[in-house]
Amino acid sequence: MVDIGANYLNKFGDVTVAAFAGFMYASFVPSFNQLAGNNANLITGSNFAAWKQWVIGLQFGFAGFTVGGSMSYDNNGLGGNYYTGVASESRKFAVGVMYETGPWQASVGWGHTNTDNGNGAATLGTVAMGTTSGLGFVAVPGSTRANFGTNPLAGAATFGGYTADKIEVGVNYALGPGIKLVGGGIFWNVGGPVNGSQGQSWAAMLGMDLRF
């Protein structure tokens, strides 16, 4: 495995600049052992492959404002499906803005991820409720024909990409040296090709930040 990164920090007058980039590569030698799941599955066409990631980002600061963004790629260690040729790659984008004045600090950020679904997804058949929730997926098909069939309840894979969006908002107020009142919220929206892969959620937070 090779993992490298670099960053750049500088200031031009009243403008601050920060940039970074990273790259990761991990080799993988496949096997045709069917007991290894996605290692090299000749029924579904899914397979593991060399894992590749890269990311780049840029940030500027001026007059109390800080603006930044990044984009990245991840093949999730999966190769293109043997039969469809479609990969299961993720692409991620993020952008954020922060403003500071006196004791106040406020920020808002957005992140987005889209992932290809080259190996297909199984349909959710049951959800068992109890002290914990158990998900019951339709059984893995026993033949390539069934996997690429038209009946998801008989094990046919469903294709189509996944998406996820997150919005964050935060506000801080410095009450004194080493103590801040902090508050914020997060909203998630996710979507996908099968039942159980769509949903929305949110969270709110209010607290104190103590440093000494």
Domains, the chain, in order of start with CATH, read 2-121+157-210 (2.40.160.10)
pLDDT of residue 4: 98
Distance of alpha carbon 186 from alpha carbon 181, whole angstroms: 17
* 3 state SS for 26-70: ECCCCCCCHHHHHHECCCCCCEECCEEEEEEEEEEEECCEEEEEE
Over residues 106-156, the pLDDT tens digits come to 999 999 999 999 998 888 776 666 655 556 677 777 789 888 988 887 888
Q: What is the pTM of this model?
A: 0.84
What are the φ/ψ torsions at residue 83 (nearest 5 degrees)?
-100, -35
What are the φ/ψ torsions at residue 154 (nearest 5 degrees)?
-100, 10
